[in-house]
Amino acid sequence: MRRLKKSLLLLSLISLTSFTFAQDSVINERTKILQNGKDLGFITVLTPIDVVKKQANKATIKIKGYRLENYPQMIVRDLKRKELYAEFKDEESSNKYFKTIKKHEDDYGEIWHEVEGVFTIDTKNIAKNPDKLKLKAKKTYEQSCSMCHHLPASNAYTVNQWPQQIESMMEQVTLEPKTKNLIIKYLQQHAADAK
């Protein structure tokens, strides 16, 4: 009986994930990772997620990414493109929530873990309309970055170069943290090596 239950559960999990795989959901703003009221870190805006289970208030989501063996707190898109997906306050939480699928070595001999993690967030932090959010990101970029010079082409820099470019711009421009985060993610997702 237990066995049957287990395999049924497994089956429904599989069908759920395969169903949600195509969903292409994203996080709609920087979202705290909370566990029993404890603030463990955050997930960035525009991070792609799989929705495993969605209820009115809480949703179970899955994130796939990479982290450095020596600095597991940061989860990024992959070992070449360091678009930040999630950041934990300590190693322990990162290790608890993300499990390693495979290890990779980069050109500098650094060891990376390909990881996936499942946790609960507020349902309101999943973008209801990802296309609308992406359009908003594009518009925010166009409006904020074309006042003093031509709008730089998003593919003028790589995923890893953009955050530095934005930082150096901060001497000239003041942006709300929320706006800045949205622009960084937009540019990284449209950078020269984004695809």
Q: Choose, by CB under 6 A, the member of 183, 185, 188, 191 that binds ligand HEC.
A: 183
Total residues interacting with ligand HEC, rule: CB under 6 A: 12
Q: Is the Cβ of residue 121 or residue 182 nearer to ligand HEC in the bound state?
A: 182
60 binds ligand HEC (CB under 6 A): no
Beta bridge partners of 115: 65, 100
Q: Are 104 and 79 in contact (CB under 8 A)?
A: yes
- Find the shortest distance in angstroms from Cβ 183 to ligand HEC: 5
Q: Which two tokens stand for residue 178?
A: 């929320």
- Find the shortest distance in angstroms from Cβ 174 to ligand HEC: 9
Tell me the C-alpha distance between 22 and 183, whole Å.
25
Question: Of 188, 110, 126, which is closest to residue 156 (Cα–Cα)?
Answer: 188
Q: Identify residues 142-181 at the interface with ligand HEC (CB under 6 A).
A: 144-145, 147-149, 152, 165-166, 169, 172-173
- Find the shortest distance in angstroms from Cβ 28 to ligand HEC: 20
Half-sphere exposure of 101 (CA within 13 A, CB side): 8
- Find the shortest distance in angstroms from Cβ 129 to ligand HEC: 24
CB under 8 A, 24+ apart: contacts of 75-80? 75/115, 75/117, 77/159, 79/104, 79/106, 79/110, 79/112, 80/106, 80/159, 80/193
- Find the shortest distance in angstroms from Cβ 62 to ligand HEC: 31
Q: Is the Cβ of residue 119 or residue 186 nearer to ligand HEC in the bound state?
A: 186
Residues 6+ apart with CB under 8 A from 33: 39, 40, 41, 42, 43, 86, 88, 93, 97, 119, 121
Q: Identify residues 107-146 at the interface with ligand HEC (CB under 6 A).
A: 144-145
Q: Is the Cβ of residue 35 or residue 165 nearer to ligand HEC in the bound state?
A: 165
Residues that bind ligand HEC (CB under 6 A): 144-145, 147-149, 152, 165-166, 169, 172-173, 183
